[in-house]
Amino acid sequence: MSLISPKGILGATLCALACLSLNTQADVPPLTVSGNQILSGGEAKSFAGNSWFWSNTGWAQEDKYNAELVRWFKNDWNATIVRAAMGADEDGSYEEDPDGNQARVETLVEAAIDNDLYVIIDFHSHYAQQKKALAIDFFEEMASKYGAHNNVIYEIYNEPVQISWGGIRSYAVDVIAAIRAIDPDNLIIVGTPNWSQDVDAASYNPITEFSNIAYTLHFYAGTHGQWLRDKANTAMNNGIALMVTEWGAVNADGDGAVAIWEADQWMAWLKQNNVSHLNWAVSDKDEGSSVMRPGASPFGNWSDSDLTDSGRYVREKVKNWGTTIGGSSTSSSSSSSSSSSSSTSSSSSSSSSSSSSSSSGGTGGACVCNWWGHSVFAICENQDSGWGNENGASCIGELSCRNDQSPSGGGGVECDNSSSSSSSSSSSSSSSSSSSSSSSSSSSSSSSSGGSSSSSSSSSSSSSSSSSSSSSSSSSSSGGNTGGVSCVVSNLNQWGSGYQLDVEVENSGSAAVSGWTIVLDFGEAPRLTNSWNADVSESGDTITASNISWNGTLNPGQSTSFGMQGESDGSLATPSCSVQ
């Protein structure tokens, strides 16, 4: 644990003096962690907003860091939270231009405070443990300037890569100690392994040395599906609170079309679990994850034609999220709250979507919502539509429950006399069973968001000159009376010291299969460091991967996928893929 520096002592004194005059006039309620929930003024709420792009000098997005644009997002998008991504990696970062980057961040922070919004001060790095002294200096200054404001949230590590949770935890404890010496209580969010996807790893050994700590989860709907929500469910079931400080409606490389169906699943999950979220990114860079088209005004006042497809989707979700700061949340018109949640569990594998949501404590009323026939929620007493939170548990408005049900008719409102039930829950179990291994896991992934060239994230393309990508491979299939299985390697992404790839496995035969084993031949040692969605073993130049419990059964035409990471000098060839 770090000793308090003279700078920290001075900062603590200044903050204490400021608190005397400012905290009594706080315009937003404090954020506090209680179990696996983040409370605003003692009430579990899910806030929606936007993350700005990397603050780096020379990256052509500096002009977006202005107060007028913050006001535009509050007034036009109904945003309740914003994020300043203080670039700590790559050219033009805080290391190279501390004054320019910090000035941009402070402009955003002060505009958020002036507009009564929550604001995340993000140390936007993939290797923050290598820059711990820099991070401590930065956060000591931020805590000294802004620690008196309930608006401020410290995100001390954006997306860790190539580091275990133990390494992240050690870094975090030292940085948190420096912040807490100045600011004793504002919310601090800690990044998690593998581009802030492995939140479950953090949940097994959470930070207990300090209070009011939450953990970062990032997802991109075109790449990350139910398997990542399963990790998040595990983490929350283990008792830690999460915030999605960055998400995208497109692929994890920042491009591609809006994955509407999967993004809707994520929106419903966020609502159900009261998880706040910020979309990446406030940028006019020519990539799918940007909310604005190239050349759009950096000050807002946009028409629909100024927004990208992603921007239009995100605006509709944020604008209609229905949560306000202070007072009680109001559910928005059902255009977002219920439409985004209407498909919440239809694609989830039978394992975990119910584990996160079936525990609804409810309002104690006589009626419940049998959501799509396999998850039960309380009917909200104080709202008719959309998702809410009452008595510490998720609930749904009666109109949304009646209107947004399985196409096969499963689920509905069920009361003690069953008179208003749309149908019995037993009749609807088939509405979601067919997706248990195909759609819930076929989007299983690889990299995550908002990063530099070391990840395949939405902002990796901002420094894409240092990464390489190849996405085609060989495939082979096996015949026999168990059906034909084929495999293909896709999304081989490489950087200076490592690689990440995905493998898609498909049953292209006419009969169901109950298991599969894939062999990847790299032609050199793969030097595997991480994998997901398969049991893998390395031997010589090959990796053998077999299904795990939930993705082994594939009906004809169904597919699943798994992924892995390893060490490389950037010259790795796409491995051959064969079915054993």
Q: Could you tell me where the DSSP H helices lie in 320-429?
A: 337-341, 353-357, 398-403
Q: Bridge partners of 85?
A: 122
Distance of CA 85 to the CA centre of its chain: 15
Active site residue 95: no
Pairing of strands 542-546, 535-539: antiparallel
Largest CA distance in the chain: 77
Answer whether the bond into residue 268 is a cis peptide, omega within 30°.
Answer: no
| Active-site choice (90, 106, 155, 246) | 246
DSSP letter, residue 511: S
Active site residue 504: no
* Rounded CA separation 33/48 (Å): 18
Instruction: Retrieve residue 362's tokens.
Output: 């409810």
DSSP letter, residue 551: S
* Rounded CA separation 43/382 (Å): 15
Instruction: Retrieve residue 571's tokens.
Output: 């010259």
579 touches 517 (CB < 8 A) = yes
Instruction: Retrieve residue 411's tokens.
Output: 């689920």
* Rounded CA separation 496/477 (Å): 33
Q: How many helices (H) and strands (E) does the chain have?
A: 14, 26
| Active-site choice (159, 287, 390, 504) | 159
Q: Which residue in the block uniquely carries the two structure tokens 């208003």?
A: 420
Judged by DSSP in three states, 247 sits in strand
The set of catalytic residues is 159, 246
